[in-house]
Amino acid sequence: MPLLAAFAVTLALGAPATQEPAPASRLQDVVVEGRALEALVREFVSEVSAPAHNRGLARWNRPICVGAVNLRPEAAQYVVDRVSDVARDVGVEASEPGCRPNILIVGTVDGAALASALVADRPRNFDLRHNGTDAGTRAFAAFQTADRPVRWWQISMPIDAETGSRAVRLPGDIDPSTGRPSAPTIHVLAASRLRTQIRDDMIRTIVIVDVDRLAGANLVQLADYVTMVSLAQVDPEADISGYDTVLNLFDDPATGPDGLTEWDMSYLEALYQHDQLRINRNSQVHSVADAVVRDRRQASARETGAPDPRP
């Protein structure tokens, strides 16, 4: 199959009155709203994020190269440009045309069949046989069989932040001088119980779009949905029905978000600014959630003209 061959080549592993209330009531309202916002954000971040098993939140720390196949040329170009533009907005370098894709968007009329065929043809492109590089066995099965208009699979990698080198051994790693299995050597510069030298990098993403099952979603909406799941590790089974996010698009495209929402952009910006070297995954989630809360408070203050009540 030509598409399978193209996929094998392009996805090779690379490295939201005039009368003022009394001050006491006013303060109480602010505190209550603040707590509600914090709770909502933490729930959203925890629900949406899907890091690899036993790993921290991964993001793109290398230039992305976005490719699209099996779509009309003008649609493919729009999606590629949108993913690349948003990536640049959050601080990720996007490569020029002609690069080797590490984010590939594929159109099809049967998403499950295509996903299964791609996995069967090149299993090592999807499963590195190493705990901590993907979403796990259950998610892998769902990628191939679930009933979804858009599905995605991502590979991330633990990386030595000091050298940029891979920090884990993969099957097939051999020491050329001995011919024996080998593992990367990590030179720890400073021991700490709070911080680590190892970060998690996204290195490969495939997004499969079932063009016959988009339920009326337009190209702008679709491109922003694809952007969200390409730039972040998103749980496809997350319950985000109560949140203003493009991830709710396929609940009802006619009444759904026009594209990436302010919540979505706050999340992506926080993800790409947070400290990846916190040793505890929960502290990473809290760090991202705190950044989203600050951004939403500042946005609310700008809209109302009121000062931000908290630092």
pLDDT digits (tens, 9 = 90+) for 158-189: 888 777 777 576 666 666 676 666 556 666 66
Domain range for 256: 2-11+31-304
Mean pLDDT within 54-71: 94
Mean pLDDT within 24-39: 52
pLDDT(5) > 70: no
Task: pLDDT band for 219, please (50, 70, 90 cuts).
Answer: very high
Whether 240 is in a domain gets the answer yes
How far is residue 31 from each of residues 37, 38, 89, 195, measured CA to CA in Å?
10, 11, 32, 32
Lowest model confidence (mean pLDDT) among 71-80, 92-101, 145-154, 289-298: 289-298
67 CB neighbour count, 10 Å cutoff: 21
Mean pLDDT within 12-34: 39
Identify the H or E element spanning 157: strand 150-160
Whether 177 is in a domain gets the answer yes
How far is residue 30 from each of residues 297, 307, 311, measured CA to CA in Å?
11, 11, 13
| Total number of domains constituting the chain | 1
Whether 204 is in a domain gets the answer yes
Whether 174 is in a domain gets the answer yes
Whether 254 is in a domain gets the answer yes
208 neighbors 5 (Cβ within 8 angstroms) = no
Whether 233 is in a domain gets the answer yes
Whether 16 is in a domain gets the answer no
Whether 17 is in a domain gets the answer no
Mean pLDDT within 42-52: 90
Q: Which of 97, 94, 41, 26 is nearest to 63 (CA)?
A: 94
216 against 24, higher pLDDT: 216
User: Which of helix, strand or coil describes residue 100?
Assistant: coil
